[in-house]
């Protein structure tokens, strides 16, 4: 299968501190990869390098066979002009933990912004596509609402529609449900499940183990700026090989069971 993302010995440091210490990872076209790992392990930095919100310091990163951010001539590397970088970035949609919608624009206006401003799409066409996308994320009725009039789960679904409006080849999700109240997590995960079923290539940073188990083709566990292990979810989640993975998973699973128990407790009728 065609590799849509290929990271080769990717390095990134901040102020002399190595945050990514040689990441090798391939994501095939149509594949859903869930990235797990404790806080500070470099997951966000890795996604931000793919989306060129950060400039990596070493190694190579390819999307659809194209080297990101750089042009190689002989042994020399040159930074691509901004216009080329903008073109590369348009192929990639990113969904953040905090939805980052424009607060003064309605759901529909948020979704058409990219296609109209940078995609060269006519307003009429952008609006018609945006309505379809809002329907796809279950929000046709909310097209004219402002972010402040929407729940967190609805705002995140608008953010997904907004990313899809640019017709990306690849979608990156950085803990898309971790800022949400527990009762709103499911509606966002449901949209992501559908997207995966439709064949979108996705890299998802998440602590939702059930989602990773059910939806991911592959789970990658990162810690301390390296990939510790990766494999099919049934293997990595049920039978982790490394001590660090075992410790992380048992902590996360215990936390999620506690949350589930607390929610069930709240749902009990008062005697």
Ligand X SMILES: Nc1ncnc2c1ncn2[C@@H]1O[C@H](COP(=O)(O)OP(=O)(O)O)[C@@H](O)[C@H]1O
Chain residues in the site for ligand X (CB under 6 A): 14, 19, 37, 39-45
Residue 2, token pair as written in the block: 């065609």
Bridge partners of 62, per DSSP, are 6, 67
Residue 37 Cβ vs ligand X, minimum distance, rounded to whole Å: 6
19 binds, among Mg ion, ligand X, none (CB under 5 to 8 A by kind): ligand X
Q: Which residues contact 250 (CB under 8 A, 6 or more apart)?
A: none
Rounded to the nearest whole angstrom, what is the least distance from the CB of residue 196 to ligand X in the complex?
A: 21
Pull the structure tokens for residue 196: 């995966």
Q: CA 139 to CA 133: how far, in whole Å?
A: 9
Longest dimension (CA), the chain: 76
Which of ligand X, Mg ion, none does residue 41 bind (CB under 5 to 8 Å by kind)? ligand X
75 binds, among ligand X, Mg ion, none (CB under 5 to 8 A by kind): none
At its nearest, how many Å lie between Mg ion and the CB of residue 225?
Answer: 13
Report the number of secondary-structure helices (H) and strands (E) in the chain. Answer: 9, 12
The DSSP output letter for 17 is E
State how far the Cα of 41 lies from the Cα of 48, in Å rounded to an integer: 13
Residues of the shown chain interacting with Mg ion in the complex, contacts defined by CB under 5 A: 44
Report the C-alpha gap between 266 and 263 in whole angstroms.
Answer: 5
Place of tokens 């509606």: 187
Residue 177 touches which of Mg ion, ligand X, none (Cβ within 5-8 Å per kind) = none
Give 13 or 169: the residue with its C-beta nearer to ligand X.
13
Instruction: Return the one option of Mg ion, ligand X, none that residue 40 interacts with (CB less than 5 to 8 A, by type).
Output: ligand X
Closest CB to Mg ion among residues 22, 38: 38
CA distance 148 to 80: 38
Distance from the first to the final alpha carbon of the chain = 58
Closer of 44 and 106 to Mg ion (Cβ): 44
Give the nearest residue (CB) to Mg ion.
44
Judged by beta carbon, residue 10 or residue 164, the one nearer ligand X is 10
Per partner kind, with CB cut-offs from 5 to 8 A, the member of ligand X, Mg ion, none near residue 163 is: none
Using the minimum distance from each CB to Mg ion, give the nearer residue, 174 or 187: 174
CB of 38 to ligand X, least distance (A): 7
- SS3 state at 90: helix
User: Is residue 191 a contact partner of residue 173, using CB atoms and an 8 Å limit?
Assistant: no
| Residue 245 contacts which entry, Mg ion, ligand X, none (Cβ below 5-8 A, type-dependent) | none
Residue 177, classed as helix, strand or coil, is coil
Residue 206 CB, nearest distance to ligand X (Å)? 11
Residue (45 or 110) nearer to ligand X, CB: 45
Nearer to ligand X, 40 or 199 (CB): 40
Q: 38 to each of 44, 207, 267, how far by Cα in Å?
A: 11, 9, 30
Rounded to the nearest whole angstrom, what is the least distance from the CB of residue 243 to ligand X in the complex? 19
């Amino acid at each position: 299968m065609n590799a849509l993302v290929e990271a080769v010995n990717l390095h990134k440091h901040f102020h002399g501190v190595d945050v990514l210490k040689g990441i090798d990872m391939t994501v095939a076209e149509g594949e859903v990869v869930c990235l797990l790992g404790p806080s500070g392990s470099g997951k966000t930095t890795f996604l931000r390098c793919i989306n060129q919100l950060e400039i990596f310091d070493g190694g190579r990163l390819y999307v659809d066979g194209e080297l990101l951010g750089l042009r190689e001539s002989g042994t020399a590397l040159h930074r691509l002009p901004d216009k080329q970088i903008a073109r590369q970035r348009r192929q990639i949609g990113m969904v953040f933990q905090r939805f980052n919608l424009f607060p003064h624009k309605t759901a529909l206006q948020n979704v058409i912004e990219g296609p109209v401003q940078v995609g060269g799409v006519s307003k009429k066409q952008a609006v018609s596509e945006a309505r379809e996308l809002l329907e796809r994320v279950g929000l046709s009725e909310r097209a004219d609402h402002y972010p402040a009039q929407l729940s967190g789960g609805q705002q995140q679904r608008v953010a997904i529609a907004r990313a899809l409006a640019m017709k990306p080849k690849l979608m990156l999700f950085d803990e898309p449900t971790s800022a949400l109240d527990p009762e709103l997590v499911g509606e966002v995960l449901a949209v992501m499940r559908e997207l995966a079923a439709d064949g979108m290539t996705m890299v998802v940073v998440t602590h939702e183990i059930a989602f990773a188990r059910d939806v991911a083709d592959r789970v990658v566990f990162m810690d301390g700026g390296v990939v510790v292990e990766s494999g099919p979810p049934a293997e990595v989640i049920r039978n982790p090989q490394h001590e660090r993975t075992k410790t992380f998973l048992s902590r996360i699973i215990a936390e999620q069971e506690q949350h589930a128990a607390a929610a069930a407790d709240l749902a009990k009728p008062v005697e």
